[in-house]
């Protein structure tokens, strides 16, 4: 027990030393440094929860301390617009910003780990609190405020939580099954809370710094979505160049939280929006248009990011123009539809009446019906290639017209009413004689060259038959063999 207590005390000493280091901006001693891991989140196997340090290593890493120091310096120096001529990637400030972006992501992960730690320790005292207060930083603050107190009426949670939640917390605390914590565990928990709050403050500082520089780094992008969101987008993408290379659909989803826990319904989950959700343009559009606005924002911000990555427009005019465009489009969507004008009546007798039947209509349709010749030309015999007008498969095909074995020498043109009408008109025009023609004349003139073939049109009318007769299958043939089984 003594050794354990000693090791705890030693831990506490180290912790206070480290915090002093961070606040006083001194370089960390080599002795206090533990493994110089990149500050990535601890493995899940490393559940040595007795020691906070083995779980949360970020604050001790060299990288963290360096970057924090540089950020402090830069914030104190104020804005610095000297190096416009340099290529963006060589600028040391740009490098710092890239590092800051990565660091802010790491800090977030670290805060989650610490939150888990605090939660596990505090479960003995107040298990229901974790389900009432979800946000890690709020949870840490509440835990710090409550401490080991059993009676929540003595604790003032104003300002930390919304009043509704304070009420619920107080009510739950009065019926909680938890017991007060032992002293060491309480100290560790409070320590962890402090650490979480420090990390949160550091993250805010880093983000502020990036925001302030965002207007210089990516002016067009920050005009459209705002510097905070622009900084986050850049951080998650891994740099301005990487952001510019992404297609707009990916930019839309940067930072989208995947909260689909297994077994929970996705019917209520909000549509997939990432950091774009935090822009003021998105927040100010009515909910019904949010999906379209999100897509529009993502596409225009991608364009702006591309302009920024090549330093095409340092003044930000492009960004302002795009923002104006977005605003106009959203306004246009919200316009009410144009008022309906009563339609004027149609001109009388302009549409001919549709006759749907009757003898007259039938006779009229006969003039345009498909003739027997056309029917034969449309059909083909199986296995017999058809002749065509230009020969060799080119031109119009003749089908069964004029095929050998069809029993006809010539196809007689059936009575075409249309042709008859046309011929009559034509005859009247050309041969409109004065009327002095004898009844014995005819328009046919017998010469030696022109023969006359009189064929009986009825004889071969069966060849076409009715539409129901099969032209492929034999009408008379039967099955060759029927077996009884």
Partner 1 sequence: MSYLMTTLTKKREVDTIIRDTIDKVLVLRFGRASDPVCLHLDDLLRKSSREVSKFATVALVDIDSEEIQVYVNYFDISFIPSTIFFFNAHHMKMDSGTADHTKWVGAFQKKQDFIDVVEAIYRGAMKGKLIVSCPLPSERIPKYQLLYKDV
Binding flags for partner 1, 293-332, as an x/- string (CB under 8 A): ----------------------------------------
Residue 348 as a binder of partner 1 (CB under 8 A): the answer is yes
Residue 351 beta carbon to partner 1: minimum distance, rounded to whole angstroms = 12
Residue with Cβ nearer partner 1 (31 or 348):
348
Residue 336 as a binder of partner 1 (CB under 8 A): the answer is no
Residue with Cβ nearer partner 1 (346 or 358):
346
Distance CA 276, CA 252 (A): 7
Residue 232 beta carbon to partner 1: minimum distance, rounded to whole angstroms = 53
| Stretch near partner 1 under the rule CB under 8 A, chosen from 47-55, 67-75, 269-277, 343-351 | 343-351
Residue 382: HSE in the Cβ half-sphere, 13 Å Cα cutoff: 5
Of 24, 45, 183, 349, the one binding partner 1 (CB under 8 A) is: 349
Distance CA 42, CA 61 (A): 13
Distance CA 151, CA 156 (A): 11
- Interface size with partner 1, residues (CB under 8 A): 8
Task: Find the binding residues for partner 1 in span 245-284 (CB under 8 A).
Answer: none
Residue 344 as a binder of partner 1 (CB under 8 A): the answer is yes
Residue with Cβ nearer partner 1 (268 or 341):
341
Residue with Cβ nearer partner 1 (348 or 432):
348
Residue 346 as a binder of partner 1 (CB under 8 A): the answer is yes
Residue 339 beta carbon to partner 1: minimum distance, rounded to whole angstroms = 10
Residue with Cβ nearer partner 1 (1 or 345):
345
Distance CA 297, CA 280 (A): 11
Residue 338 beta carbon to partner 1: minimum distance, rounded to whole angstroms = 14
Q: Are 401 and 376 in contact (CB under 8 A)?
A: yes
Q: Are 94 and 235 in contact (CB under 8 A)?
A: no
Residue 382 beta carbon to partner 1: minimum distance, rounded to whole angstroms = 57
Which 8-state DSSP code applies to residue 161?
Answer: B
Which 8-state DSSP code applies to residue 459?
Answer: T
Residue 346 beta carbon to partner 1: minimum distance, rounded to whole angstroms = 6
Residue with Cβ nearer partner 1 (338 or 467):
338
Residue 338 as a binder of partner 1 (CB under 8 A): the answer is no
Residue with Cβ nearer partner 1 (341 or 466):
341
Residue with Cβ nearer partner 1 (85 or 352):
352
Residue 85 as a binder of partner 1 (CB under 8 A): the answer is no
Q: Are 125 and 150 in contact (CB under 8 A)?
A: no
Residue 345 as a binder of partner 1 (CB under 8 A): the answer is yes
Q: What are the beta bridge partners of residue 388? A: 397
Residue 432 as a binder of partner 1 (CB under 8 A): the answer is no
Residue with Cβ nearer partner 1 (159 or 348):
348
Residue with Cβ nearer partner 1 (344 or 439):
344
Residue 450 beta carbon to partner 1: minimum distance, rounded to whole angstroms = 50
Residue with Cβ nearer partner 1 (337 or 344):
344
Residue 347 as a binder of partner 1 (CB under 8 A): the answer is yes
Provide DSSP, 290-325. Answer: HHHHHHHHHHHHHHHHHHHHTT--TT-HHHHHHHHH
Residue 352 as a binder of partner 1 (CB under 8 A): the answer is no
Of 31, 338, 342, 383, the one binding partner 1 (CB under 8 A) is: 342
Residue 449 as a binder of partner 1 (CB under 8 A): the answer is no
Three-class secondary structure assignment of 56-122: CCHHHCHHHHHHHHHHHHHHHHCCCCCCCCCCHHHCHHHHHHHHHHHHHHHHHHHHHHHHHHHHHHH
Query: What are the residues whose beta carbons fall under 8 Å from the beta carbon of 211, sequence distance 6 or more?
Result: 227, 228, 231
Distance CA 249, CA 114 (A): 33
Residue 353 as a binder of partner 1 (CB under 8 A): the answer is no
Residue with Cβ nearer partner 1 (345 or 444):
345
Q: What are the beta bridge partners of residue 161? A: 158
Distance CA 302, CA 155 (A): 49
Q: Are 106 and 39 in contact (CB under 8 A)?
A: yes
| Stretch near partner 1 under the rule CB under 8 A, chosen from 64-72, 262-270, 339-347, 420-428 | 339-347
CA angle 170, 172, 174 (to 5 degrees): 70
Residue 191: HSE in the Cβ half-sphere, 13 Å Cα cutoff: 24
Q: Are 214 and 84 in contact (CB under 8 A)?
A: no
Burial-class residue 214 by CB neighbours within 10 Å (0-12, 13-18, 19+): buried
User: Which residues in this chain contact partner 1 in the complex, by CB under 8 A?
Assistant: 341-342, 344-349
């Amino acid at each position: 027990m003594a050794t354990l207590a000693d090791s705890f005390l030693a831990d506490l000493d180290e912790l206070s030393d480290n915090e002093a280091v961070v606040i006083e901006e001194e370089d960390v001693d080599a002795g206090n440094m533990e493994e110089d891991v990149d500050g990535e989140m601890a493995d899940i196997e490393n559940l040595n929860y007795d020691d906070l340090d083995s779980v949360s290593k970020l604050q001790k890493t060299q990288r963290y301390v360096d970057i924090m120091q540089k950020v402090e310096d830069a914030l104190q120096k104020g804005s610095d617009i000297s190096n416009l001529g340099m290529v963006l990637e060589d600028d040391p400030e740009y490098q710092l910003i890239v590092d800051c972006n990565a660091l802010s992501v790491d800090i977030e992960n670290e805060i989650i780990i610490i939150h888990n730690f605090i939660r596990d320790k505090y479960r003995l005292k107040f298990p229901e609190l974790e389900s009432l207060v979800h946000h890690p930083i709020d949870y840490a603050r509440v835990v710090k405020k409550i401490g080991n107190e059993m009676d929540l009426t003595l604790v003032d949670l104003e300002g930390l939580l919304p009043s509704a939640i304070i009420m619920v917390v107080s009510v739950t605390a009065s019926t909680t099954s938890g017991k007060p914590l032992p002293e060491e565990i309480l100290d560790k928990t409070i320590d962890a809370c402090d650490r979480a709050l420090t990390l949160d403050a550091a993250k805010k500082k880093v983000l502020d710094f990036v925001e302030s520089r965002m207007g210089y780094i990516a002016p067009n992008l920050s005009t459209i979505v705002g510097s905070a969101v622009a900084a986050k987008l850049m951080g998650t993408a891994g740099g301005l160049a990487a952001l510019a290379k992404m297609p707009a659909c990916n930019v839309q989803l940067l930072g989208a939280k995947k909260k689909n826990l297994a077994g929970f319904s996705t019917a209520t989950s909000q549509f997939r929006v990432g950091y774009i959700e935090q822009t003021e343009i998105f927040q100010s559009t009515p909910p019904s248009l949010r999906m379209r606005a999100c897509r529009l924002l993502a596409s225009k911000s991608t364009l702006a990011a591309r302009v920024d990555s090549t330093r095409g427009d340092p003044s930000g005019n492009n960004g302002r123009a795009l923002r104006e465009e977005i605003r106009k489009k959203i306004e246009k969507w919200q316009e009410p539809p144009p008022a309906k004008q009563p339609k004027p009546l149609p001109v009388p007798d302009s549409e001919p009446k549709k006759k749907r039947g009757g003898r007259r209509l039938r006779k009229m349709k006969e003039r345009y019906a498909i003739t027997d010749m056309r029917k034969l030309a449309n059909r083909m015999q199986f296995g017999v290639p058809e002749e065509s007008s230009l020969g060799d498969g080119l031109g119009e095909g003749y089908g069964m017209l004029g095929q050998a074995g069809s029993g006809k020498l010539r196809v007689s043109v059936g009575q075409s009413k249309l042709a008859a009408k046309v011929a009559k008109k034509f005859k009247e025009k050309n041969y409109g004689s004065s009327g002095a023609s004898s009844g014995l004349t005819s328009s046919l003139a017998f010469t030696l060259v022109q023969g006359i073939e009189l064929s009986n049109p009825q004889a071969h009318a069966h060849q076409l038959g009715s539409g129901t007769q099969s032209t492929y299958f034999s009408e008379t043939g039967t099955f060759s063999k029927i077996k009884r089984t």
